[in-house]
Each structure stands twice: as structure tokens, then as C-alpha cells.
Amino acid sequence: MAFNGHQRDDESINEDETPTEQPQSNKEMPGCFSNDPNNEAAASAGRATSDRRTSYSTARQRSDSVKKTRPPFPWFGMDIGGTLVKLVYFEPKDITAEEEQEEVENLKSIRRYLTSNTAYGKTGIRDVHLELQDLTLCGRTGNLHFIRFPTHDLPAFLQMGRNKHFSSLHTTLCATGGGAYKFEADFRMMADLQLHKLDELDCLIRGVLYIDSVVSSGPSECYYFENPTDPDRCIQRPYTLENPYPLLLVNIGSGVSILAVYSENNYKRVTGTSLGGGTFLGLCCLLTGCSTFEEALEMASEGESTRVDKLVRDIYGGDYESFGNMMSKDKRESVSKEDLARATLVTITNNIGSITRMCALNENIERVVFVGNFLRVNTLSMKLLAYAMDYWSKGQLKALFLHHEGYFGAVGALLELLHPS
Amino acid sequence: MAEFVRVDSSTSGHTMDKSITLPPDEIFRNLENAKRFAIDIGGSLTKLAYYSTVQHKVAKVRSFDHTTKEATGDNLYEISMQEEVTARLHFIKFENAYIETCLDFVKDHLVNTETKVIKATVDKEDEMTCLIKGCNFVLRNIPHEAFVYAKHADSEFRFQTTQPDIFPYLLVNIGSGVSIVKVESEDKFERIGGSSIGGGTFWGLGALLTKTKRFDELLQLASKGQHTSVDMLVKDIYGGSYGSLGLTGDLIASSFGKSATADKEFSKEDMAKSLLHMISNDIGQLACLYAKLHNLSRVYFGGFFIRGHPGEVQALFLRHEGYLGAIGAFLKGAEEDRSSGLMSVSPEMYPMQRARSGTFDMLEMDRLEGKLVNLPLLQDASSYIPDTVDLTEDAHAREYWLYCFEEALDGVVQRAVASQPDMPEAAERAEKFRQKYRHKLQTLRHQPLVLLFSPSAYGSLTVRSLLDTREHCLNEFNFPDPYSKIKQRENDMALKYYQKAVKCLDELSWEERQYALVRGVLAGNVFDWGAKAVSDVLESDPEFGFEQAKRQLEERPWLVDSYDQWFERLKGPPHKCAMFFVDNSGVDIILGVMPFVRELLSRGTEVVLASNSGPALNDVTNGELQILTESIAAMDPVVQAGLREDRLTLVQSGSSSPCLDLSRLDKVLAMVVRERKTDLVIIEGMGRAIHTNYYAMLSCESLKMAVIKNSWLADRLGGKLFSVVFKYEVPATSQHSAALTPS
């Protein structure tokens, strides 16, 4: 990425599928113990730090007591969005020999299929670098896997579920996102699966708070950009999201939702915009003939948006107008696909930044967390957002980012399976 | 038609079309007398404004000097056509590619090269000043300038009346980019934000996506497209609505969200529509956020093509959105150069014409001679809406009236030709008028969507606007007063009968006379060429008499009947002063209104007769009424005494419409109302008392009288043809006049 002479940071999201990060160890899931009054208070306060003091043995004992209420494996959480389906899968690593014998073949086969591959079919991908290892969930220890595939391939996924007799496992499939509603009947008809539908914003917030709480060692889940207005000194830094409230949560998927979060259970959707990741990809496909997000981003990273955007300095000096130069035929002919992709990315990103900033001012909130798959491998947009927040607020607003970008809704759905709220 | 060929393209980087065909005479009208120019060159569009004088024909009436026996025949007065010069502002908007061609044309066609001031809005601050100035001007001066757009409301457009209190407001000016300006007073404003996604984005991205070069063509494409094939809607994700958040299924979740695929083709129309939605919504959203942050409840959108965005703030759109900068530049230039004496700082303008010719959008405004003001007796001027039915929201009424106006068109054309028997080319002009007006009607009739896509071109659609547009069109083709001869003949005829009518009335008892006077006004009002049902009868039987009209009238109880209250009131003390808004000439004014006025004068009430400043249909004009009143005074001592003692006064209304807008009246009229402490307002006729003002609330007693001469309207109001509306109202709040009102 040669954008403004930036070097790729070590911590930036890796596009390779092999994990670069060390497995993250020994996390406890707070919500599972809410039967315990001590922990309930901590959990409802939305912070999990106190739970980490819980010793392994007590946890084990307690988990034995909750064993009866623990749902049977497999544990999935699913978020079916407009463009992507996000799936989180908990792989238990503490299976006893006894359990191993009891385990039905179907379950074993699903586990092996998911964990031994990093790609499924033509379009399914496991984000190995995001995997959370040695995580303790409801008294079970294992790895949390993050998988995604395009929503239009959902029929193939359902077919696979049918082939693997998923329905015989009598599991509850917790799903959120609009697709949970749209495809509910398909799940039933094609795979004989009953969905437990969940609100996507509830899940999103729950997922964000959980992931942030369990990722304590290794690279911090949350990070920001230092010196965002100075390209030469702009670097990614970890951020501790302690006392996160109030918080403006900007979820950039196909479209954008902006939430003001005051506590885990108290939030409101402030606004949204239809100019989101779907718009970027949709326009790029039309303008450049590309077909994937990765392709579009690749082109954007090589392009130059000022050739496309009409600089107002052409007229006055100052601001710019998105795509303004494209009013002229000559300029339309001289522009490259890369420039167009870049201009589209910059336009969409700056617009989100602008709306976010206004919401932050209106809601009087200084901390802004950007999530959603638009930001996946999209350092350019993140830096633009960081720049916009910092510049326009004269340093008052802080743009924060999370490594698990698009998976929080799915994580929230999984948590709902393990601990119905 | 002339062809313009751009010869030299060396100076500017961007190419221009090699040839641009334009009808220059139609676009740059009245250029030879142009006195002042203002030009506003934006990022993509140029707006040109110029002021020039235009000559047009007006009909004048002049009394014959009867003492010298100059008169030929029996006519009371003569009618003559005169040339009058009025000041007119012209606005033209076009794409920047045409700048050189247009300026060359303008330069070549200027006759007088000395007094030109070219005021170009170039630097940023200046542009902003011009913009605000223009915006303040149109908000203050042009009726129905602002309108509200509500996507899911019954009526998608709602127009705002002019308000004296316009501040503070947020102005969202959409040029190539978007500027958001907080305006606190005439001179105090601040740019508080902006966006790079604006008209330039629409044009630039639109050109890339659709290979369509012209801005107007892009808008055209967009108007035919379906954005749902390109946009990802909430229902595409959810299968329906997202109920818990109250997001409906039709809401756009992701603009262009469905085009993220390499193997599908999308139509140009659909992409243009989606782009338009995307940009409009985005601007609307930002505007809402800024308004909220700055605690402003009114947001005006100016500049481009915008449509609304739901929110807590009221989004108001300006009809003359694109011209604010040019109007402001023009006004600013006028201020800086007062020596020319051409313009006052805040000239009164009246929107005249708006037309589109391909990529050129034109607007013309005439300067008014007098200032127009509210009737001081309006109960609440800020909420007053003249029109009874808004045809934009009433599809049945719209259909009927558009049909009705089209049906009546032949008659109007015939009378227009007949009014100018000495002019051989009158038939040709009348035909042009017919085509123009019919085109307008048909556009509205067959594409009611026009209202949706360009309400700006029409303002609100009401019976009044249809009538007024017809008058404007007639004027444009030099038919200043098609009814002049008919009015003259009818006035002459009715005058002969005046004394007999008065004598009959005087023979009645007081009680009988009060009723007969009201019936007289109503019967007189049947004589109306504006109503199709009546003009048929009048055309076929010119002898249709006053007595016959009385027999046609509905018997009491009338459709709306508060005669008993009126009669009771008459037993009480006389009114101090009555303002009578009169309607038709001929029998109506002479045999209906004048005897009624005479009775009021006899009771000791002063009377002010308010008539049209200029002609409209067969309505009596102020000029005609002066002559008629003098003629009646010569026969009638009561009227004569009234004139002599200044208890009977004639004023002009300031209007040339068959309808009546009580918020735009001549300022002299308003002054008289105040000075004479007017405590009774009488409004007569279908145009003034039913199509308009039926619901108008006044702070004094009022009497609205009309005969319904249209069977559809009668049917709708629950009556029949020639049903009577007699509406006498006493305001609940006017306790100060309680002493005058019987309990």
C-alpha cells in the first residue's frame, strides 16, 4: 500500500489465511456464570475484568453444576447480513475419552470439516488469524473459529447442512441479521433446521463487549491510530476499552448503522446511511468491472482519487467534490479503474466519517468504535476515518477499531445460545 | 433556430460539444433592452440573470366626453390598446459547457452597451452573500416559494405562504458540492458545514455509470428508473421490514448494494435513479444532523434537484432553488449601483413564466408597481392559505378541473380572437395561446408525476393557479383583455336598467328590500363568463335577463344559509365601513352590487369597492368601475352623495386574477382598511369566495356570497347547479365590536 507513503503496520490486518498471531489463551466467559450473584453484578455492569480472577477449579465446579443447562454441541452463532454470512464456531478441545465415545458421528464430522479446512467450497473462508484459542465458554475450553461466506451462497450451505444431517443433532441455531428472518423458511425446508432469531443490534453490542473482555493477552482487540493527521507518523496502537460508555458504535456492513451505547442493555440507533460497504463494492463493480471486495480494495490502494474528485481549488481552493471531475468528458477518458475505485472508497468513507462526527456531536459522545466488514483489510478507510474524526474535532474525538471487525453479531448470537438473556 | 458553432477550443481543457443548437430568441428574451447582468458560475451550472424592460399591450378604458357629443353609438366608454413598459427580471440556467456560446450571443445582441454591469459571483464569500441575499429575497417575496415534501403523506407537496419572520433557518445549497449555512438575520450567516457529495457527484458518477453526458438527460433517465433493482432494500435483507427498529421494508439499506456483481447488467435509468436517491438522501441526512446540532427547525434546500429526508426538522424546498445566487448577485449589484435608479433595494417581483427548453431553464419575473401586503383584517396571516382545495392532494378534483379548463379552452380562444377584430394576426396568436395553455394542462393531466418531479415549475396546483396561468398565457400572446368588448356591451346594457331596478327596490318594505338586495347580488353573480355552464347560456342567449337569473336561483334554505343572522344584524347599528371585493362587470356590479352598496350608504356605512387592478375574464377592473360609478352617480343621488362626501371609495386590489389572495393586496387598500376602521368585509363570487377564501378567517364580520355555477362543484358541496352560498361570519374574538353586534 503506497498510500501517502505509509508502511504497512505489523499489527494491521493480515490478508493471508495463516495466523500471524499467537493463540490467545485462557479466557473465561463471564455471562455463563450469571447464576452466581457475585458475577452477575459484574456481568450486568458490562465489564468482565473481575471474572478473570476466578480460579480454574472453582470454574470447573461451577461449570459442572451448569452442565445440565448447557446446550449440546455443536455451538454456533450466525449473522446473516445483506452481503456476507458470518459464522462463529466453538470447537471444544477438552473432550474426554468418554465423551469422544458418546459423540455421534455427525458431530465429529462437522467438527473435523470445519477445523481441518480454512476454505469451504469456492467462497467460504475461515479467518484463521482471528481464531481465539483456549477460550473457556460455559465451563468448556476450546477454540473459537470465525468463518464467512457470501449470503448468496447460503443455499449451498443449507445443502451441506442437509447432507451432514445437521438437524439430527437437535441443536438450536442462533441467528441474527436480516437473513435470519428472510431465510428462516429456507432453513426449515431445506435443512430441517429451526432458527432462533435474534435482534442484530443486541447481538452486535453483546459481541463487541464480550470479545473485548476476553482478549486480554496478545495484541489488544481494540486499537487506534496515533497521529492520524500526519501520514508519516501515523501508527496503529493498542487501546484499552475500559469504562467504554458512552460509546458511539458505527457498524459498517452493506449499509451503516450508528448506535449510541450507554450500557450493555441501554443503547439506541441514532441513525444510519445507505452509503456503506455495499455501495462501495456495488459502485466499484459497475465502474471497474471487478467482482470482489478484495479486488476493489486492491485497485483502490493503487489509485489516486484527486484525478476523479474535482478539487474545489479548481474553482476556489479548499474542499473537493466527489467525482466532480467526471463531469468532463476528457477527464472521464483519462481516468484509470484504480483511480475510480480509490475515489469511490474515499467518498464513501468520508461520508461515513462526516455523518459519524455529526452524530457524536449531537449525542455528546467522544469515543467512536468502528466495526463491520467494510473495514476488513481496509487500512485506507480506517486511517481516513481516524483522520476525519481527529481533524474535524480538533482531537476531541477518538476513532477506535476492533480486530474482529465483522464478527460481533455472530458472537452475540452464540452468547445467546449459551446464556439466553 | 440558430446553430452555434464553437470555433476555438484552445483555452479550456475540457471539450465542449462542437455544435450546440439552441433557440436563442426563446432563451434570451428581451435582450436588446437588457440593462444589467449578473452571472453566477458554479462548478457545473451557470446562472445568468438580467434585467430588461418589456413592452406589452394593455387594455385601457377611457370615458367619452358626453358633453361634446364625441361618443359614437351608445357606448359609455372606449377601449384602447396601449403599449406599456414593465421591468422584468430574466433568469437562465445552463450547463457550464455553454458559457462561451451564451456569452457571445449575449454580447452580439446587446443594443445598448453602456449601462451594463456584469456581476459575476466568483469569490467564495461573495457567492455566499449573494446566495443568502437571494434566498431571503425569494422567501420574503414569492408566494409558495417554499414547499414541504413528505414521501408518505397524502399530499406529497405542501407549500408555505410567505412569512415576515423567516429567521433563523438552515440553508443547504447544493451546487457541485454542498454548503450548509446557518442564517440568523439579513446580514448574519455562517457556513457551518458541507459535503463533497452533491450535484457534481450526481453528474460525474452518473456520466461514468450511464455514459450520459448531460445533467438534464441524467435527471430524465432518473425519472424513468427503478432504484429497487440496484439498491439493496431492508426487505432484501430481512424479507420484510425490520420491525423492532421501525425500518420499513422499502427503506434503502445499501445504495447500489445489488450491483456488487460482475455478471448482471443494470439499466441506465435504474442506476441514475439509485444515484439520485443516494445523493438526495445523503444531503437530507446531513442537513437534518446539522439542523439538530444547531437547534434549527427550518431547513431550506436550494441549488439542485433535491428531495426530502424524513426527520424531526421540516425540510423546505425552494422553487427557485437554482437561481438564489444569481438573484442575490443581481440584488447586490443593484445595491452597489443605486445611481442607475433602476431598482430599489428590495424590489417587488412577481413570478411570470418558467419554462424549460432542453438544457436551458428559464424564469422571468415582472417587477410590480406597488407593494403587495396582507389584508390587515386576516385573523392569522401566517396560517392563511387562500385556496380552498389543493389539487395536488385531491386527485378527483384535479382531474375534473383540468378537464374543465381544457373544455373551456375553445371558447376562450374564440373570445380572444373576437376581442381584436381589427388585427388579422390575432387568430394566429390565439392559436399559439391555445397550444401553450393546452400543453400545460395536458402535462398536468397526463403526467401527474410532473408534480412530483418538478413541483418547482408550477408552484401549488389550484383552481386559482390554473386561472391565473391562463391569464398569463393570454397576456403573453398579447391578449390583454379578451372580454373588453363583452364587458363594454354588458355594462352599457345593465346601466339602462339601473334606475328601474333601484325604483323597484325602493318600493319594497325594509324587510323585503334586504332580502331582495341579497337576491340581487346573487342573481347578478350568475352572469359570469368564467363559469362554463353560464358562458354557454350567455353565448347562446344574450338576452338572458336579470329577472330570469333570479328565477334560476335556489330557494331558501340555501346550500349555505346564514341569511337570518345577517338580517338580524341589519336591525342593529350600521357598520362603520364595508370593504366589498367585487366580481363581474355588467349585471353583477351594476344591478346586483351597486343597489346593495347604495343601501349600505343609506344606513350610514362607508363603502370601499375593491376591484381588480388588471383584467381577468369578465371581472370588472378598477378603471372600468371608476367610469361606471361616475355614470351611476349621475343617475343616483345616494351614490353621488357618497362619492362627494368620500363615503364611497374605489380602490384597486393589486390583483389581476379571478380569484383573491388576501395576503397579496395593494398597500393602498390595506391603508384604507386601517384608516376607515373597516368592520365588514364582503367577498363575492365563486373565484373569490369559494375557490379561494371559503375558509378564510377574518377578525371582523364577513359576508361571502356566491352562486355555484358549476355542476361538479355543486355536486361536491352537496348542492346543485345555481345553489347559493351565503356565509355570514362573526369572529368569536372580536369582542371590541360586540357593541355593534346584536346579541
Q: Does B69 touch chain A (CB under 8 A)?
A: no
Give the pLDDT band of residue A199 (cuts 50, 70, 90). Answer: very high
Please list every residue in chain B whose beta carbon sits closer than 8 Å to the beta carbon of residue A318.
124
Residue range A13-39: mean pLDDT, rounded? 41
Chain A residues lying within 8 Å of B253, measured CB to CB: 82, 178, 254-255, 274, 278
- C-alpha pair distances (Å), B135 with each of B41, B167, B186, B317, B329: 17, 11, 10, 11, 11
Rounded-to-integer distance, Cα A263 and Cα A241, Å? 13
Task: With beta carbons under 8 A apart, name residues in chain A contacting B13.
Answer: 328, 330
A193 compared with B92, residue with greater pLDDT: A193
Q: Which residues contact B642 (CB under 8 A, 6 or more apart)?
A: B598, B601, B607, B633, B648
Tell me, yes or no, if the two domains B395-477 and B484-729 fold the same way: no
Question: CB under 8 Å to B418, separation ≥6 — which residues?
Answer: B482, B485
The mean-pLDDT minimum among A43-52, A332-341, B468-477 falls in A43-52
The domain locations on chain B are 31-140+327-369, 143-230+266-319, 395-477, 484-729
Distant-in-sequence, close-in-space partners of B527: CB < 8 Å, separation ≥ 6: B490, B534, B538, B544, B549, B584, B586, B587, B588
Residues of chain B contacting A83 with CB distance shorter than 8 Å: 254, 257, 260
Which residues in chain B are contacts of A282 at CB distance < 8 A? 230, 254-260
A148 CA: distance to closest CA in chain B (Å): 17
Structure-model confidence comparison of residues A176 and A324, the more confident one: A176
Position B15 pLDDT exceeds 90: no
In angstroms, the CA B360 to CA A257 distance is 40
Separation in Å, CA of B12 to nearest CA in chain A = 11
- Are B88 and B366 within 8 A, CB to CB? yes
For the ranges A96-100, A389-393, B107-111, B517-521, the maximum mean pLDDT occurs at B517-521
Q: How far lies A333's CA from each of A93, B45, B96, B352, in Å?
A: 58, 21, 19, 42
The whole-angstrom separation of Cα A145 and Cα A129 is 9
The partner residue sitting opposite B201, judged by closest CB among A201, A254, A321, is A321
- Show the CA angle centred on residue B274, arms to residues B268 and B277, nearest 5°: 140
> Is the pLDDT higher at B13 or at B437?
B437
pLDDT for the residue numbered B375: 92
How far apart (Å, rounded) are the C-alpha atoms in residues A23 and B387?
75
Chain B residues touching residue A278 (CB < 8 angstroms): 232, 253-257, 260
> Which has more pLDDT, B742 or B544?
B544
pLDDT of residue B455: 37
- A265 within 8 A of A257, measured Cβ to Cβ: no
Specify the range with the lowest mean pLDDT, choosing from B102-106, B186-190, B403-407: B102-106
Residues 333-352 of A with CB under 8 A from B: 340, 347, 350-351
Query: Where is pLDDT greater, at A51 or A162?
Result: A162
Max mean pLDDT among B130-134, B201-205, B331-335, B450-454 falls in B201-205
Q: Looking at this protein, which amino acid is placed at residue B560?
A: V
**Interface touch A178/B44, C-beta < 8 Å:** no
Amino acid A355: pLDDT: 94
pLDDT computed for residue B17 by the predictor = 35
pLDDT at B515 exceeding the cut of 50: yes
- Which residues in chain A have Cβ-Cβ distances shorter than 8 Å to B238? 178-179, 181-182
Residue A51 binned pLDDT confidence (cut-offs 50, 70, 90): very low
Least confident range from B429-443, B600-614, B689-703: namely B429-443
Q: Please answer yes or no on whether B231 and A274 come within 8 Å at the CB atom.
A: yes
Class of domain B484-729: alpha beta
Question: Which one-letter amino acid corresponds to residue B202?
Answer: F
Contact A282 B281 (CB under 8 A): no
Q: pLDDT higher for B712 or B71?
A: B712
DSSP code of residue B370: S
The pLDDT confidence band at residue B12, using thresholds 50, 70 and 90, is very low
Q: What is the pLDDT of residue B270?
A: 94
User: Which residues of B are less than 8 Å from A312 in CB distance?
Assistant: 43, 176-177
Instruction: State the virtual CA torsion across B621, B626, B630, B633 in degrees, nearest 10.
Output: 70
d(CA A286, CA A282) in angstroms, rounded, equals 6
Q: For residues B90 and A389, which has the higher predicted lDDT (pLDDT)?
A: A389
Q: Compute the count of residue pairs across chains A and B with CB atoms less than 8 Å apart.
A: 203
Which residues 217-236 in chain B show a CB within 8 A of chain A? 230-232, 234, 236
Interface of B with A in 2-21 (CB under 8 A): 13-15
Dist. CA B527–CA B332, nearest whole Å = 49
**CA dist list (Å): B8 to A328, B11, B214:** 17, 8, 21
Give the pLDDT confidence score for residue B460 in this predicted structure.
60
Confirm if B713 and B547 have CB atoms less than 8 A apart.
no
In 3D space, the residue among A77, A74, A293, A375 whose CA is nearest the CA of residue A200 turns out to be: A77
Q: Give the C-alpha distances (Å, rounded to integers) separating B214 from A407, B194, B606.
A: 44, 25, 62
Mean pLDDT across B47-53: 71
Confidence of residue B97 (pLDDT cuts 50, 70, 90): confident
Active site includes A103?
A: no
Query: What average pLDDT does range B625-647 have in this prediction?
Result: 95
Residue B434 pLDDT: 92
Band (B33; pLDDT cuts 50, 70, 90): low
Judged by DSSP in three states, B203 sits in: helix
Rg (CA), chain A: 22
ipTM: 0.82
The pLDDT of residue A196 is 94
Burial A355-366 (b: 16+ CB within 10 A, else e): bbbbbbbbbebe
pLDDT of residue B326: 65
Interface list for B 275-314 with A (CB within 8 A): 278, 281-282, 285-286, 289-290, 292-293
- When mean pLDDT is compared across A10-19, A373-382, B583-592, the lowest value belongs to A10-19
Residues 465-494 of B with CB under 8 A from A: none
For B222-235, the three-class secondary structure string (H helix, E strand, C coil) is HHHCCHHHCCEEHH
The pTM for the full model equals 0.63
**How confident is the model at residue B368, as a pLDDT?**
54
Asked if B605 is an interface residue toward chain A (Cβ–Cβ < 8 A), one would say no
When pLDDT is averaged across residues B75-93 and rounded to a whole number, the result is 76
Q: Which three cell numbers stand for residue A402?
A: 476492533
Record: contact B176-A329, CB cut-off 8 A: no
Q: Is the pLDDT of residue A285 over 50?
A: yes
Length of chain A (residues): 421
Window B:189-208, CB contacts with A under 8 Å: 193-198, 200-201, 203-205, 207-208
% chain A with pLDDT above 90 = 53
* Strand segments (E) across B64-134: 77-95, 118-121
What are the Cα distances from residue A358, in Å, to A132, A187, A349, B515, B600? 35, 40, 14, 68, 65
Average pLDDT over all residues of chain B:
76
Give me the architecture of the B395-477 domain, per CATH: Up-down Bundle (1.20)
Q: Which grid coordinates belong to A226?
A: 496515533
Q: What is the mean pLDDT of chain A?
A: 81
Q: Compute how many other C-beta atoms are within 10 angstroms of the C-beta atom of residue A299.
A: 22
CA distance B365 to B695: 30
B278 and A274 within 8 Å at the Cβ level: the answer is yes
Q: Does A305 touch chain B (CB under 8 A)?
A: no
From B14, B43, B195, residue closest to A315, measured CB to CB: B43
Query: Is residue A63 within 8 angstroms of chain B, CB to CB?
Result: no
Q: Do A321 and B282 touch (CB under 8 A)?
A: no
* A46 vs B113 pLDDT, higher one: B113
Active-site pick, A28, A131, A200, A405: A200
What's the pLDDT score for residue B531? 55
- The residues, ordered by sequence, that sit 6+ positions from B248 with a Cβ below 8 Å of its Cβ are B234, B241
Do residues B320 and B459 make contact, with C-beta atoms less than 8 angstroms apart? no
Confidence check: pLDDT of B492 > 90: no
Q: Please report which residue ranges of A132-267 form alpha helices under DSSP H.
A: 154-163, 178-182, 184-191, 200-214
Residue A210 and residue A188: Cα distance in Å, rounded? 30
Segment B474-500 shows an average pLDDT of 87
Dihedral Cα B657, B658, B663, B669, nearest 10 deg: 80
Give the best residue of A311, A316, A321 to mutate against chain B (max B CB count within 10 A): A321
What's residue A207's pLDDT? 94
pLDDT of residue A144: 96
Average pLDDT over residues B594-620: 95
A327 → closest Cβ in B200, B230, B259: B200
Worst-scoring range by mean pLDDT, A263-277, B10-24, B131-145? B10-24
User: What homologous superfamily does CATH list for B143-230+266-319?
Assistant: ATPase, nucleotide binding domain (3.30.420.40)
CB-closest option in B14, B204, B238 to A182: B238
Residue A45: per-residue pLDDT: 39
Given this model, what pLDDT does residue B315 score? 46
* Across B413-425, average pLDDT: 88
What integer is the mean pLDDT of B539-565? 78
Minimum Cα–Cα distance from B236: chain A residue: A82
pLDDT confidence band for B182 (50 / 70 / 90): very high
Question: CA B421 to CA B546: how far, in whole Å?
Answer: 29
% of chain A surpassing 70 pLDDT: 78
Looking at chain A from residue 69 to 88, which residues have their Cβ under 8 Å from any Cβ of chain B? 81-83
Q: Mean pLDDT across the stretch B304-318?
A: 43
**pLDDT surpasses 90 at A202:** yes
From residue B705, alpha-carbon distances to B27, B519, B561, B590, B660 in Å are: 44, 10, 10, 16, 14
Chain B residue with Cα closest to A321: B196
Q: Which of A201, A318, A355 sits opposite B286 (nearest CB)?
A: A355
Distance from C-alpha of B602 to C-alpha of B597, rounded to nearest angstrom: 9
**DSSP bridge pairs for B94:** B46
- Name the band, by pLDDT with cuts 50, 70 and 90, for residue B673: very high
pLDDT recorded at residue B18: 30
B313 has pLDDT over 70: no
